[in-house]
Amino acid sequence: MAWTKERLEEVVQTRLANHRLVVVANREPYIHVRRGEEILCVRPASGVTTALDPVVRACGGVWVAHGSGDADRAVSDEQGRFRVPPDNPCYTLRRVWLSREEEEGYYYGFANSAVWPLCHAAYTRPRFESEHWEAYRRVNRKFTEAVLEEIEGESAIVFVQDYHFALLPRMLRQARPDLIVVQFWHIPWPNPEVFRVCPWKEEILDGLLGNNLLAFHTQYHCNNFMETVDRNLEARVCFERFAVTRRGQSTSIKPQPISVDPDEIANLAPPDLDRASKRFRAQMRVGNLPLLVGVDRVDYIKGIPERLRAVDRFLCRYPDWRRKFCFVQVGAPSRVHIGDYRALNEEVEKLVEEINWRHGDSTWDPIVFLHEHHGPDKLYLLYRMASACVVSSLHDGMNLVAKEFVAARADEQGVLILSEFTGAARELPDAVIVNPYALDDLADSYHKALTMPASEQRRRMKRMRRQVSDNNIYRWAGMLLSAAGQYVEPEETLVLRRGLRSPHKNGTPLLKLSVS
Ligand code: G6P
pTM: 0.94
Q: CA 514, CA 516: separation in Å to the nearest integer?
A: 6
Angstrom distance (rounded) from CA 214 to CA 252: 6
Classify domain 5-259+473-495 by CATH number. 3.40.50.2000
- pLDDT higher than 60, residue 211: yes
Which residue from 477, 511, 492 is spatially nearest to 18, judged by alpha carbons? 492
Residues whose CB falls within 8 Å of the CB of residue 4, separated by 6 or more in sequence, listed in order = 474
DSSP character at residue 489: P
Per-position DSSP letters for 286-304, written without gaps between them: -TT--EEEEEEES-TTS-H
Average pLDDT, the chain: 94
Amino acid at 279: R
pLDDT at 493: 55
Q: Phi/psi of residue 391, each to 5°? A: -120, 100
Residues framing ligand 1 (Cβ under 6 A): 27, 46-48, 162, 186-187, 297, 334-335
Q: Which of 144-148, 378-382, 498-502 has the lowest mean pLDDT?
A: 498-502
**What pLDDT was estimated at residue 507?**
32
What ligand 1 atom has the least distance to the C-alpha of 400?
A: 7
Domains 5-259+473-495 and 262-470 share a fold: yes
Contacts of 71 (CB under 8 A, 6+ apart): 32, 33, 34, 39, 40
512 confidence band (pLDDT: 50, 70, 90) = very low
Q: Give the per-residue pLDDT at 210.
A: 98
Q: In terms of DSSP bridges, do strands 62-66 and 81-84 run parallel, antiparallel, or are they unpaired? A: unpaired
**Nearest CA, atom 11, ligand 1:** 46
What's residue 503's pLDDT?
A: 37
* pLDDT of 131 higher than 90: yes
Amino acid at 376: P
Q: Show Cβ contacts of residue 333 under 8 Å, excluding neighbours closer than 6 positions.
A: 297, 298, 345, 371, 372, 373
Q: Whose CA is nearest to atom 5 of ligand 1?
A: 46
Which amino acid is present at 84?
V
Q: How far is the CA of 182 from the centre of ligand 1 (A)?
A: 19
Gyration radius (Cα) of the chain, Å? 24
pLDDT level of residue 489 (50, 70, 90 thresholds): confident
Neighbouring residues of 198: CB distance < 8 A, sequence distance ≥ 6: 114, 118, 126, 128, 204
**d(Cα 181, Cα 251) in Å, to the nearest integer?**
10
Q: Please report the pLDDT score of residue 14 as a whole number.
A: 86
Range name among 49-63, 157-171, 297-311 with the lowest pLDDT average: 49-63
**pLDDT for res 405:** 98
The DSSP bridge pattern shows strands 326-332 and 38-42 to be unpaired
- Distances 268 to 291, 295, 381 between C-alpha atoms, Å: 20, 17, 9
Q: Which of 23, 24, 27 to mutate to test the pocket of ligand 1 (most atoms within 8 A of CB)?
A: 27
Q: Are 83 and 93 in contact (CB under 8 A)?
A: yes
Amino acid at 123: Y
Q: Give me the torsion for CA of 419, 425, 429, 431, rounded to 10°.
A: -40
Ligand 1, atom 4: closest residue by C-alpha = 46
Does residue 29 have a cis peptide bond before it, meaning omega lies within 30 degrees of 0?
no
Residue 431 alpha carbon to ligand 1 centre in Å = 24
DSSP string, 248-278: TEEEEEEE------HHHHHTT--SSHHHHHH
Digit-coded pLDDT (tens) for 429-447: 999 999 999 999 999 999 9
pLDDT at position 501 is: 45
Which residues on neighbouring strands pair with residue 332, listed in sequence order? 297
Report how far ligand 1's centroid is from the alpha carbon of 482 (Å): 25
Domain chopping of the chain, boundaries: 5-259+473-495, 262-470
Domain 262-470, CATH class in plain words: alpha beta
User: Could you tell me the pLDDT band of residue 46, with boundaries at 50, 70 and 90?
Assistant: confident
495 vs 281, higher pLDDT: 281
Average pLDDT over residues 340-358: 98
C-alpha 214 – ligand 1 centre gap (Å): 18
Going from the Cα of 48 to the center of ligand 1, the distance in angstroms, rounded, reads 7
